[in-house]
Amino acid sequence: MKKYVCLLLSILMLMTMFVSPAAAAAPASAEPVGFSINRVESADTSALPDILTLQTEAIQPAYRIASAEGLLRLSELVEQEHTLEGITFYLVCDVDMTGLDWLPIGADTPTGNSNPPKYFAGTLDGQGHVIRNLVYENRTGGNMVAVTGLFGITKGATVKNLILDESCSFTYSGTANDNRTGSIIGWANGSNTIDNCLSLAAVNGKNHTGGIVGQYPGSASTLLRIVNTTNAGPVTGAGAAGGIGGYMQGPLEIVNCRNAGDVSTASTAVGDVYQAVGGIVARDIRVAGQKNLVDGCVNNGTLTGGLTGGIIGAVQLASGETSVQNCTNYGKTESSLADAVSGQIIGKNAANNGSSPVLTGNQEKAGQSDRTLLSAMLQVCAQVTAGTTDQSESTSLRLVTSVNAELDAWQEIGFVFVLQPAGGEATDEIRRGSTTVYRSIAGTDGEALVNYRPQVMFAPTSAYFATYSITDIDRSYFDMQITVRAFAVTQEGETVYGESATFAVSDLF
């Protein structure tokens, strides 16, 4: 009996820095902006109980989530008003939510309730695994705070090393006046941390919409930290919309994050802070005596609206401080509205007393091609016979990479790779199936490898995807390992590479 296994191999330094071919063997000199699979440190979860065995009268300090049912159980526990404070949940595999009814982890609450009882206060460590086909539409109306996302409401929570792929979407289509929509968190209430997460999900909201977090109503005693995180999905709102955060009230730290998704609002208002569009933050709200920091972030997304800012759409309120430093905007602004207001770093300073945000070391590169940007998602898809050791059984390797840039900036995108004994040296020619796989004769990554020019097609994430398949890798190569490196060739003929990713052939079986 055949089985089809599709697992995430690596997000190959998604939105990462490149090195020149001459220096390809050396590690990148700069920390990649946004999510990186190389930051994930897998925990030994073999002895942990499954969340499906969790008994609320005797909760253990940590659990495994190994199925879609496990993720549903987490939502169910919070709906029963268990905040799970201090408890860590480890995602131990990719999860497919196809056909399942989702309720955000921490759901809607009546308007005026600033301390809702249903919220998540624990830690979810995705360990680099992917949630797929999580599609949720919130139609709540009336006198409610409508929250939409993987997590509806969090307070004192940490979410890290988690990936939402492009088959996920989060939509608010109801009539509640107070609605908060994000892919990871709708309403980040109190202090929370998001670290090394990636979302390719489409986010469609109304009032407060963010690619990662919809709203954070902070205070002097709280802090929201979003670090090393990437949004690469489209974000649309009827009001304010931001690539990372929608309504962000300090104190706040957004550090080393990237937005590569297009961000837009349906509003036709010109210069209205309530309809602001920001590459990183839509509305930056200051708090007396506190600091809102956006540091080392990059926007690559196109921004559409009557008020747009490459990093922050609008800065509001006089008290407190907003500091934007070492950020770069590559995103273009599009608007059919006459007299639309835009800025490459700040769209509009609407502070009550006119005090300006502190801007240091930022770069304005709107419309320029960001050649440091490679979003290379590698997937391994295997078709094998379950439970056999038949060495004639073969499998297929499917690789996917994407370059989030104008197609005419690249002549070619694809892969170089080497197959060799685990921990050993490779021979010149390893395997001839439908194609031939070579090792690097010179032993240098990026040299003397077979470069494939795959088919290029447009993808929903506004990135151009290239795919290549190799067949007839069989079980006789069980002790082999494959090293893959994504590459792109510019119109000027320069070849740039992402970091290499290595995996065992045995992982396919």
Number of separate domains in the chain: 3
DSSP per position, 251-304: SEEEES-EE-S-EEE----SS-GGG-EESSEEEEE--TT-EEEEES-EE-S-EE
Pick from 374, 281, 364: nearest CA to 330: 364
Tell me the pLDDT band of 493, cut-offs 50, 70 and 90.
confident
Domain that holds residue 400: 373-508
The pLDDT-based confidence of 451 (bands split at 50, 70, 90) is very low
Instruction: Verify that 176 and 236 share a domain, yes or no.
Output: no
Asked whether residue 299 falls in the same domain as residue 246, the answer is yes
Q: How many CB atoms lie within 10 A of CB 266?
A: 14
Percent of the chain with pLDDT over 70: 67
Q: Which residues of 91-125 are buried (b: 16+ CB within 10 A; e: fewer)?
A: bbebbbbeeeebbbbbbbbeeeeeebebbbbbbbb
Looking at the structure, do residues 405 and 432 belong to the same domain, yes or no? yes
Q: Are residues 89 and 160 in the same domain?
A: yes
CA–CA distance, 182 with 104 (Å, rounded to integer) = 11
Residues 183 and 199 in one domain: yes
Residues 322 and 449 in one domain: no
297 & 361 share domain: yes
Please give the pLDDT value at position 411.
64
Q: Is residue 481 part of a domain?
A: yes
Query: In terms of domains, do 326 and 391 share one?
Result: no
- The answer to whether the predicted template modeling score (pTM) of the entire model surpasses 0.75 is yes
* Structure tokens that stand for 206 in this block: 């109304």
CATH code of the domain containing 423: 2.60.40.10
| 11 domain-assigned | no
Tell me, yes or no, whether 317 lies in a domain. yes
Task: Tell whether 162 and 55 lie within a shared domain.
Answer: yes
Same-domain check for residues 108 and 191 = yes
CA distance linking residue 422 with residue 201, whole number of Å = 36
28 within a domain of the structure (yes/no) = no
Same structural domain, 165 and 264: no
Let me know whether 78 and 185 are in one domain: yes
Whole-number pLDDT of residue 371: 58
Q: What is the pLDDT, as a whole number, of residue 3? A: 28
**Does 325 fall in a domain?**
yes
Asked if residue 25 belongs to a domain, the reply is: no
Nearest to 181 by CA among 101, 100, 263, 246: 246
Give the pLDDT band (50/70/90) at residue 232.
Answer: confident
Each residue's pLDDT tens digit, 198-217 = 998 999 999 999 999 999 99
In this structure, is residue 26 part of a structural domain?
Answer: no
Average pLDDT of span 164-183: 94
- List beta partners, residue 246: none
- 212 within domain boundaries: no
